[in-house]
Structure 1
Amino acid sequence: MLFTYSQCKEKYGSQYQLNKAIKNAELYQLEKGVYSDKKRESDICVISFKYPCAVLTLNSAFYYYGLTDTIPEKYILATERGAAKITDGRVIQKFENSGTVQLGAVEVEHEGNNLHIYGRERLLLELLRNKTKLPFDYYKEVLSNFRKIIEELNMQDIQDFAYELPKSAMIMELLQLEVL
Protein backbone atom coordinates (compact mmCIF):
# COMPACT_ATOMS: atom_id res chain seq x y z
CA MET A 1 0.00 0.00 0.00
CA LEU A 2 1.17 3.51 -0.78
CA PHE A 3 1.45 6.37 1.70
CA THR A 4 2.25 10.07 1.57
CA TYR A 5 4.97 11.67 3.67
CA SER A 6 2.29 13.20 5.93
CA GLN A 7 0.65 9.82 6.52
CA CYS A 8 4.02 8.26 7.37
CA LYS A 9 5.01 11.10 9.68
CA GLU A 10 1.66 10.77 11.48
CA LYS A 11 2.03 6.99 11.78
CA TYR A 12 5.62 7.01 13.01
CA GLY A 13 5.44 10.22 15.06
CA SER A 14 8.71 11.84 14.06
CA GLN A 15 11.24 12.09 11.25
CA TYR A 16 13.64 10.02 13.33
CA GLN A 17 11.16 7.13 13.69
CA LEU A 18 10.28 7.37 9.99
CA ASN A 19 13.97 7.13 9.02
CA LYS A 20 14.36 4.21 11.44
CA ALA A 21 11.42 2.37 9.78
CA ILE A 22 13.01 2.89 6.37
CA LYS A 23 16.38 1.67 7.66
CA ASN A 24 14.75 -1.44 9.19
CA ALA A 25 12.90 -2.15 5.90
CA GLU A 26 9.47 -1.74 7.50
CA LEU A 27 8.80 1.03 5.01
CA TYR A 28 10.30 1.94 1.64
CA GLN A 29 10.67 5.34 0.04
CA LEU A 30 9.84 4.82 -3.65
CA GLU A 31 10.01 8.46 -4.73
CA LYS A 32 10.03 11.82 -3.06
CA GLY A 33 6.89 11.94 -0.93
CA VAL A 34 5.79 8.39 -1.89
CA TYR A 35 6.28 5.53 0.55
CA SER A 36 5.19 1.90 0.53
CA ASP A 37 5.06 -1.12 2.79
CA LYS A 38 6.33 -3.17 -0.18
CA LYS A 39 9.78 -2.89 -1.73
CA ARG A 40 8.34 -2.45 -5.24
CA GLU A 41 5.10 -1.01 -6.59
CA SER A 42 4.06 -0.84 -10.22
CA ASP A 43 4.51 2.48 -12.01
CA ILE A 44 0.80 2.69 -12.78
CA CYS A 45 -0.01 2.55 -9.03
CA VAL A 46 2.63 5.15 -8.12
CA ILE A 47 1.54 7.53 -10.88
CA SER A 48 -2.14 7.22 -10.00
CA PHE A 49 -1.25 7.82 -6.33
CA LYS A 50 0.95 10.85 -7.07
CA TYR A 51 -1.69 12.56 -9.21
CA PRO A 52 -5.04 11.87 -7.49
CA CYS A 53 -6.94 14.52 -9.50
CA ALA A 54 -5.82 13.02 -12.82
CA VAL A 55 -7.51 10.10 -14.57
CA LEU A 56 -5.75 7.30 -16.49
CA THR A 57 -7.01 7.30 -20.07
CA LEU A 58 -6.40 6.12 -23.63
CA ASN A 59 -3.46 3.72 -24.16
CA SER A 60 -2.83 3.24 -20.43
CA ALA A 61 -6.47 2.41 -19.72
CA PHE A 62 -6.88 0.29 -22.88
CA TYR A 63 -3.97 -1.86 -21.74
CA TYR A 64 -5.23 -2.08 -18.14
CA TYR A 65 -8.67 -3.32 -19.30
CA GLY A 66 -7.10 -5.84 -21.71
CA LEU A 67 -8.42 -4.11 -24.84
CA THR A 68 -4.94 -4.19 -26.36
CA ASP A 69 -1.76 -6.15 -25.78
CA THR A 70 0.43 -3.19 -26.70
CA ILE A 71 2.24 -2.03 -23.58
CA PRO A 72 2.11 1.78 -23.43
CA GLU A 73 5.45 3.58 -23.46
CA LYS A 74 4.05 6.36 -21.28
CA TYR A 75 1.00 6.73 -19.06
CA ILE A 76 -1.64 9.14 -20.32
CA LEU A 77 -3.40 11.20 -17.66
CA ALA A 78 -6.39 13.44 -18.24
CA THR A 79 -6.46 16.61 -16.13
CA GLU A 80 -8.49 19.82 -15.97
CA ARG A 81 -7.47 22.42 -18.52
CA GLY A 82 -6.10 24.77 -15.84
CA ALA A 83 -4.22 22.08 -13.89
CA ALA A 84 -0.52 22.38 -13.16
CA LYS A 85 1.87 20.85 -15.69
CA ILE A 86 2.95 17.30 -14.80
CA THR A 87 6.72 17.06 -15.26
CA ASP A 88 7.06 13.32 -14.66
CA GLY A 89 8.85 11.80 -17.68
CA ARG A 90 6.65 8.69 -17.53
CA VAL A 91 3.48 10.71 -18.10
CA ILE A 92 1.76 12.39 -21.03
CA GLN A 93 -0.75 14.95 -19.81
CA LYS A 94 -3.99 15.45 -21.73
CA PHE A 95 -5.93 18.57 -20.81
CA GLU A 96 -9.74 18.25 -20.80
CA ASN A 97 -12.50 20.84 -20.62
CA SER A 98 -13.47 21.77 -17.09
CA GLY A 99 -16.20 19.60 -15.69
CA THR A 100 -15.65 16.62 -18.00
CA VAL A 101 -12.47 15.14 -16.53
CA GLN A 102 -14.20 13.17 -13.77
CA LEU A 103 -17.14 12.17 -16.00
CA GLY A 104 -17.05 8.36 -16.14
CA ALA A 105 -14.00 8.05 -13.87
CA VAL A 106 -13.94 5.09 -11.48
CA GLU A 107 -11.70 3.78 -8.73
CA VAL A 108 -10.45 0.23 -9.29
CA GLU A 109 -8.27 -1.87 -7.03
CA HIS A 110 -4.93 -2.92 -8.52
CA GLU A 111 -2.19 -4.66 -6.53
CA GLY A 112 -3.63 -3.39 -3.24
CA ASN A 113 -3.84 0.23 -4.42
CA ASN A 114 -6.59 2.31 -5.99
CA LEU A 115 -6.31 3.48 -9.60
CA HIS A 116 -8.27 6.48 -10.80
CA ILE A 117 -9.18 5.41 -14.33
CA TYR A 118 -11.95 5.91 -16.85
CA GLY A 119 -14.61 3.22 -16.89
CA ARG A 120 -15.01 1.25 -20.10
CA GLU A 121 -18.03 3.31 -21.19
CA ARG A 122 -16.11 6.60 -21.07
CA LEU A 123 -13.07 4.90 -22.57
CA LEU A 124 -15.06 3.87 -25.64
CA LEU A 125 -15.97 7.52 -26.14
CA GLU A 126 -12.33 8.56 -25.70
CA LEU A 127 -11.38 6.05 -28.40
CA LEU A 128 -13.91 7.55 -30.80
CA ARG A 129 -12.96 11.14 -29.91
CA ASN A 130 -9.29 10.42 -30.59
CA LYS A 131 -9.76 8.27 -33.71
CA THR A 132 -7.62 10.52 -35.93
CA LYS A 133 -4.82 10.80 -33.34
CA LEU A 134 -4.30 7.05 -32.94
CA PRO A 135 -2.53 4.73 -35.40
CA PHE A 136 -5.14 3.08 -37.64
CA ASP A 137 -4.19 -0.53 -36.76
CA TYR A 138 -4.19 0.26 -33.04
CA TYR A 139 -7.58 1.98 -33.30
CA LYS A 140 -9.06 -1.02 -35.14
CA GLU A 141 -7.63 -3.49 -32.58
CA VAL A 142 -9.12 -1.64 -29.62
CA LEU A 143 -12.43 -1.03 -31.43
CA SER A 144 -12.66 -4.73 -32.29
CA ASN A 145 -12.14 -5.63 -28.63
CA PHE A 146 -14.83 -3.14 -27.58
CA ARG A 147 -17.24 -4.79 -30.02
CA LYS A 148 -16.65 -8.11 -28.25
CA ILE A 149 -17.72 -6.67 -24.89
CA ILE A 150 -20.43 -4.24 -26.06
CA GLU A 151 -23.16 -6.30 -24.33
CA GLU A 152 -21.40 -5.78 -20.98
CA LEU A 153 -21.36 -1.98 -21.31
CA ASN A 154 -24.06 0.35 -20.03
CA MET A 155 -25.41 2.02 -23.19
CA GLN A 156 -27.33 4.65 -21.22
CA ASP A 157 -24.08 5.83 -19.58
CA ILE A 158 -22.38 5.93 -22.97
CA GLN A 159 -25.13 8.14 -24.40
CA ASP A 160 -25.24 10.38 -21.33
CA PHE A 161 -21.46 10.85 -21.35
CA ALA A 162 -21.42 11.46 -25.12
CA TYR A 163 -23.83 14.38 -24.82
CA GLU A 164 -21.70 15.95 -22.07
CA LEU A 165 -18.49 15.84 -24.13
CA PRO A 166 -17.45 18.10 -27.00
CA LYS A 167 -18.16 16.79 -30.53
CA SER A 168 -21.17 14.82 -29.28
CA ALA A 169 -22.81 14.61 -32.73
CA MET A 170 -19.65 13.14 -34.27
CA ILE A 171 -19.24 10.70 -31.36
CA MET A 172 -22.83 9.46 -31.64
CA GLU A 173 -22.46 9.01 -35.41
CA LEU A 174 -19.23 7.01 -35.00
CA LEU A 175 -20.86 4.97 -32.25
CA GLN A 176 -23.70 4.00 -34.59
CA LEU A 177 -21.48 3.35 -37.60
CA GLU A 178 -18.49 1.60 -36.09
CA VAL A 179 -19.50 0.04 -32.79
CA LEU A 180 -23.17 -0.97 -32.83
Structure 2
Amino acid sequence: MIFTYKECLQRCGSKYNMNKMIASGEIFKQEKGIYSDVKYVPEYQIISAKYPKAVFSLDSAFYYHGLTDVIPDKYYLTTEKSAAKIKDPRVVQIFENSDVLHVGAKNIPSGDTKILMYTKERMLVELLRKKNKLPFDYYKEILGNYRKIIYELDVSAVQNMIMMMPKTRMIMEALELEVF
Protein backbone atom coordinates (compact mmCIF):
# COMPACT_ATOMS: atom_id res chain seq x y z
CA MET A 1 0.00 0.00 0.00
CA ILE A 2 1.19 3.53 -0.78
CA PHE A 3 1.18 6.35 1.77
CA THR A 4 1.81 10.06 1.61
CA TYR A 5 4.16 11.58 4.18
CA LYS A 6 1.21 12.69 6.29
CA GLU A 7 -0.44 9.23 6.22
CA CYS A 8 2.86 7.54 7.02
CA LEU A 9 3.48 9.88 9.94
CA GLN A 10 -0.02 9.16 11.25
CA ARG A 11 0.54 5.42 10.91
CA CYS A 12 3.92 5.49 12.66
CA GLY A 13 3.06 8.01 15.36
CA SER A 14 6.18 10.16 15.08
CA LYS A 15 9.00 11.05 12.70
CA TYR A 16 11.42 9.10 14.91
CA ASN A 17 9.31 5.92 14.66
CA MET A 18 8.91 6.47 10.93
CA ASN A 19 12.69 6.69 10.41
CA LYS A 20 13.11 3.58 12.59
CA MET A 21 10.58 1.64 10.49
CA ILE A 22 12.31 2.76 7.29
CA ALA A 23 15.68 1.63 8.66
CA SER A 24 14.26 -1.77 9.70
CA GLY A 25 12.57 -2.34 6.32
CA GLU A 26 8.97 -2.25 7.57
CA ILE A 27 8.29 0.83 5.43
CA PHE A 28 10.05 1.87 2.24
CA LYS A 29 10.61 5.39 0.96
CA GLN A 30 9.73 5.39 -2.74
CA GLU A 31 10.21 9.10 -3.44
CA LYS A 32 10.12 12.35 -1.56
CA GLY A 33 6.79 12.31 0.30
CA ILE A 34 5.75 8.83 -0.94
CA TYR A 35 6.14 5.68 1.17
CA SER A 36 4.90 2.10 0.94
CA ASP A 37 4.81 -1.14 2.89
CA VAL A 38 6.33 -3.09 -0.03
CA LYS A 39 9.77 -2.57 -1.53
CA TYR A 40 8.81 -2.32 -5.20
CA VAL A 41 5.80 -0.29 -6.34
CA PRO A 42 4.91 0.32 -9.99
CA GLU A 43 5.84 3.82 -11.06
CA TYR A 44 2.33 4.68 -12.27
CA GLN A 45 1.00 4.03 -8.74
CA ILE A 46 3.62 6.40 -7.32
CA ILE A 47 2.64 9.05 -9.91
CA SER A 48 -1.03 8.55 -9.02
CA ALA A 49 -0.31 8.99 -5.30
CA LYS A 50 1.89 12.00 -5.93
CA TYR A 51 -0.75 13.78 -8.05
CA PRO A 52 -4.13 12.57 -6.69
CA LYS A 53 -6.24 15.23 -8.44
CA ALA A 54 -4.75 14.55 -11.89
CA VAL A 55 -6.45 12.17 -14.32
CA PHE A 56 -4.45 9.69 -16.44
CA SER A 57 -5.26 10.37 -20.09
CA LEU A 58 -4.09 10.15 -23.71
CA ASP A 59 -1.18 7.74 -24.30
CA SER A 60 -1.22 6.43 -20.72
CA ALA A 61 -4.96 5.68 -20.76
CA PHE A 62 -4.90 4.26 -24.31
CA TYR A 63 -2.18 1.83 -23.25
CA TYR A 64 -3.82 0.92 -19.93
CA HIS A 65 -7.17 0.23 -21.68
CA GLY A 66 -5.41 -2.00 -24.24
CA LEU A 67 -6.20 0.23 -27.22
CA THR A 68 -2.55 0.40 -28.29
CA ASP A 69 0.56 -1.70 -27.77
CA VAL A 70 2.82 1.37 -27.79
CA ILE A 71 4.23 1.79 -24.29
CA PRO A 72 4.23 5.52 -23.48
CA ASP A 73 7.57 7.09 -22.57
CA LYS A 74 5.89 9.47 -20.14
CA TYR A 75 2.75 9.61 -18.04
CA TYR A 76 0.02 11.82 -19.48
CA LEU A 77 -1.95 13.58 -16.74
CA THR A 78 -4.82 16.00 -17.20
CA THR A 79 -5.30 18.74 -14.60
CA GLU A 80 -7.38 21.88 -14.18
CA LYS A 81 -6.25 24.92 -16.13
CA SER A 82 -5.60 26.71 -12.84
CA ALA A 83 -3.41 23.88 -11.44
CA ALA A 84 0.28 24.44 -10.81
CA LYS A 85 2.73 23.18 -13.43
CA ILE A 86 3.95 19.65 -12.72
CA LYS A 87 7.75 19.75 -12.86
CA ASP A 88 8.25 15.98 -12.84
CA PRO A 89 10.15 15.03 -16.05
CA ARG A 90 8.23 11.74 -16.23
CA VAL A 91 4.91 13.57 -16.65
CA VAL A 92 3.31 15.37 -19.58
CA GLN A 93 0.67 17.71 -18.20
CA ILE A 94 -2.48 18.56 -20.13
CA PHE A 95 -4.63 21.44 -18.94
CA GLU A 96 -8.42 21.12 -19.14
CA ASN A 97 -11.41 23.29 -18.22
CA SER A 98 -12.56 22.43 -14.70
CA ASP A 99 -16.18 21.85 -15.78
CA VAL A 100 -15.22 18.89 -18.02
CA LEU A 101 -12.10 17.64 -16.22
CA HIS A 102 -13.83 14.87 -14.27
CA VAL A 103 -16.42 13.98 -16.91
CA GLY A 104 -15.75 10.31 -17.66
CA ALA A 105 -13.05 9.99 -14.99
CA LYS A 106 -13.20 6.85 -12.88
CA ASN A 107 -11.13 5.32 -10.09
CA ILE A 108 -9.78 2.12 -11.62
CA PRO A 109 -8.40 -0.52 -9.21
CA SER A 110 -4.75 -1.39 -9.70
CA GLY A 111 -3.20 -3.72 -7.17
CA ASP A 112 -4.03 -2.38 -3.73
CA THR A 113 -4.59 1.19 -4.93
CA LYS A 114 -6.92 3.05 -7.27
CA ILE A 115 -5.89 5.22 -10.20
CA LEU A 116 -8.00 8.10 -11.51
CA MET A 117 -8.27 7.52 -15.26
CA TYR A 118 -10.64 8.37 -18.06
CA THR A 119 -13.02 5.62 -19.25
CA LYS A 120 -12.82 4.16 -22.74
CA GLU A 121 -15.79 6.32 -23.73
CA ARG A 122 -14.09 9.55 -22.63
CA MET A 123 -10.86 8.44 -24.29
CA LEU A 124 -12.75 8.07 -27.60
CA VAL A 125 -13.86 11.69 -27.21
CA GLU A 126 -10.27 12.72 -26.41
CA LEU A 127 -8.98 10.79 -29.45
CA LEU A 128 -11.37 12.71 -31.70
CA ARG A 129 -10.58 16.05 -30.01
CA LYS A 130 -6.81 15.61 -30.30
CA LYS A 131 -6.62 13.75 -33.63
CA ASN A 132 -4.60 16.51 -35.31
CA LYS A 133 -2.01 16.45 -32.52
CA LEU A 134 -1.41 12.68 -32.64
CA PRO A 135 0.77 10.86 -35.20
CA PHE A 136 -1.48 9.61 -38.02
CA ASP A 137 -0.53 5.91 -37.76
CA TYR A 138 -0.98 5.99 -33.95
CA TYR A 139 -4.41 7.62 -34.39
CA LYS A 140 -5.45 5.01 -36.98
CA GLU A 141 -4.27 2.12 -34.75
CA ILE A 142 -6.34 3.32 -31.80
CA LEU A 143 -9.34 4.13 -34.02
CA GLY A 144 -9.17 0.61 -35.50
CA ASN A 145 -9.17 -0.87 -32.00
CA TYR A 146 -12.18 1.28 -31.06
CA ARG A 147 -14.06 -0.05 -34.10
CA LYS A 148 -13.48 -3.59 -32.80
CA ILE A 149 -15.03 -2.80 -29.41
CA ILE A 150 -17.70 -0.26 -30.46
CA TYR A 151 -20.55 -2.53 -29.29
CA GLU A 152 -19.02 -2.72 -25.79
CA LEU A 153 -19.08 1.08 -25.41
CA ASP A 154 -21.92 3.19 -24.09
CA VAL A 155 -22.51 5.30 -27.21
CA SER A 156 -25.07 7.56 -25.51
CA ALA A 157 -22.47 8.39 -22.83
CA VAL A 158 -19.98 9.26 -25.59
CA GLN A 159 -22.52 11.56 -27.25
CA ASN A 160 -23.41 13.20 -23.91
CA MET A 161 -19.72 13.84 -23.21
CA ILE A 162 -19.26 15.35 -26.66
CA MET A 163 -22.13 17.77 -25.97
CA MET A 164 -20.23 19.08 -22.91
CA MET A 165 -16.98 19.69 -24.78
CA PRO A 166 -15.82 22.71 -26.74
CA LYS A 167 -15.99 22.19 -30.54
CA THR A 168 -18.99 19.87 -30.16
CA ARG A 169 -19.91 19.92 -33.85
CA MET A 170 -16.41 19.00 -35.07
CA ILE A 171 -16.14 16.09 -32.60
CA MET A 172 -19.64 14.79 -33.45
CA GLU A 173 -18.86 14.87 -37.18
CA ALA A 174 -15.60 12.99 -36.62
CA LEU A 175 -17.47 10.40 -34.52
CA GLU A 176 -20.05 9.82 -37.26
CA LEU A 177 -17.55 9.76 -40.14
CA GLU A 178 -14.65 7.84 -38.64
CA VAL A 179 -15.99 5.54 -35.91
CA PHE A 180 -19.41 4.34 -37.10
Judge same fold: TM > 0.5, yes or no. Answer: yes
SS at match of 1:108: strand
State the match for 2:132 in structure 1.
132
SS at match of 1:47: helix
Counterpart CA distance in 2 for 1:101 and 1:38 is 32
Counterpart CA distance in 1 for 2:160 and 2:37 is 40
Amino acid at match of 1:124: L
State the match for 1:10 in structure 2.
10
Percent of aligned pairs with the same amino acid: 52
Counterpart CA distance in 2 for 1:148 and 1:28 is 43
SS at match of 1:67: coil
State the match for 2:103 in structure 1.
103
State the match for 2:63 in structure 1.
63
Superposed CA RMSD: 0.7
1:1-180 matched pairs, under 5 angstroms: 1-180=1-180
Counterpart CA distance in 1 for 2:67 and 2:122 is 14
Counterpart CA distance in 2 for 1:70 and 1:4 is 31
Which of structure 1's runs of 4+ aligned residues deviate more than 2 A? none
Counterpart CA distance in 2 for 1:148 and 1:38 is 38
**Unpaired segments ≥5 residues, structure 2:** none
SS at match of 1:117: strand
Amino acid at match of 1:4: T
Report how many aligned residue pairs link the two structures.
180
C-alpha offsets along residues 100-125 of structure 1, whole Å, 9 cap, x if unaligned? 11110000011221111000100000
The alpha carbon displacement at 1:67 in A equals: 0.5
C-alpha offsets along residues 35-85 of structure 1, whole Å, 9 cap, x if unaligned? 011111111111111111110000000000111000001111111111000
SS at match of 2:132: helix
